[in-house]
Chain A
């Protein structure tokens, strides 16, 4: 599920900026890696935080104008996408959260 969420956000990033398909995906992957977020099982909330806190710097470094505005729009989109399809609570984080009782 998160893989398709990643794809949708990457496509939206590509559409909103001058980044190519490869650059958009690569930049998003780099930011996720810096945040310790696995693109395969990340939640919408994870993507939202990555977009708000890390992506603006990444986009500014790549010369994208109004990086903060672009990221805020994408974060809102991620939140809405996530509301439609929440994870089933089976990520390692969810599981270890339960194991403490």
Chain B
């Protein structure tokens, strides 16, 4: 594999770890649910989920360890997806029965899929087009793109408020960056799902999918970092642009 491709995956892994831990520490201070949900979402889908599943792929010579890695990865990933779904519902659409129904459906789907693995004890993917793997990935894509859409819609409202002096420029930018981060992460994963369905080969075995996933992962990492751990110079740039 081209080493440059690893940069994207590594960036996403490291940034998600930093942001996720930071959000967990924030939750310890505030004890507010959105902080906890975002932390679980970022850590579960990113470093813990993806990291454990990658470990499973790399340790197939030790089937027991590999299976356990996949198990931990899938549980973490499912937790992350559900947390993101609950975040989307409770933050953006609290009074929406439809959003609540979608969240309950996602929970039932993920729990059902996990239950199947618990029953048969097999957590490693069984090959391309494994319906459970595609269902899980599709659910993840849907939740990420839902969150991205909501954040971008709210960003458009916040820009209008900012023009009237009602919104802080850094918070306005946070909606944009999170929208982009979740969007690129969702789109990158979605591309892999579609490629797997069309080509009939596990997505991580398709070179251009791996390259694109790395690219989308890198962009998502940059956006998520700027959203939640913006450097002082970036904040100064945002505020300066707002004053202009």
Q: Do A and B truly interact?
A: yes
Residues on A lying within 8 angstroms of B by beta carbon are: 34-38, 40, 45-46, 49-50, 53-54, 92-93, 95-101
Across the interface, B228 reaches (CB within 8 A) one of A34, A49, A50, A101, namely: A101
Q: Smallest CB-CB separation from B161: which chain A residue?
A: A36
Assess A100 versus B34: contact at CB under 8 Å? Given A35-B160, A40-B95.
no
Which residues of A lie under 8 Å from residue B168 when comparing CB positions? 97
19 new A-B contacts, CB < 8 A, other than A36-B158, A37-B160, A100-B228, are: A35-B166, A36-B157, A36-B159, A36-B160, A37-B166, A45-B166, A93-B158, A95-B32, A95-B34, A95-B91, A98-B26, A98-B35, A99-B23, A99-B228, A100-B227, A100-B230, A101-B26, A101-B228, A101-B229
Question: Is the pair A99, B160 in contact by a Cβ cutoff of 8 Å?
Answer: no
Residues on B lying within 8 angstroms of A by beta carbon are: 22-23, 26, 30, 32, 34-35, 38, 91-92, 95, 154, 156-161, 164-168, 170-171, 174-175, 178, 227-230
Q: Smallest CB-CB separation from A50: which chain B residue?
A: B164
Question: Is the pair B166, A96 in contact by a Cβ cutoff of 8 Å?
Answer: no
Question: Is the pair A49, B34 in contact by a Cβ cutoff of 8 Å?
Answer: no
Query: Bound state CA distance, A75 and B91, in angstroms?
Result: 28
Which residues of A lie under 8 Å from residue B35 when comparing CB positions? 98-99
Which residues of B lie under 8 Å from residue A99 when comparing CB positions? 23, 26, 34-35, 38, 174, 227-228
Which residues of B lie under 8 Å from residue A35 when comparing CB positions? 160-161, 164, 166
Question: Is the pair B175, A101 in contact by a Cβ cutoff of 8 Å?
Answer: no
Question: Is the pair B22, A49 in contact by a Cβ cutoff of 8 Å?
Answer: no
Q: Smallest CB-CB separation from B22: which chain A residue?
A: A101
Query: Bound state CA distance, A51 and B22, in angstroms?
Result: 39
Across the interface, B171 reaches (CB within 8 A) one of A37, A45, A100, namely: A100
Nearest-neighbour CB distance to chain A for B16, whole angstroms, equals 14
Which residues of A lie under 8 Å from residue B174 when comparing CB positions? 96, 99-100
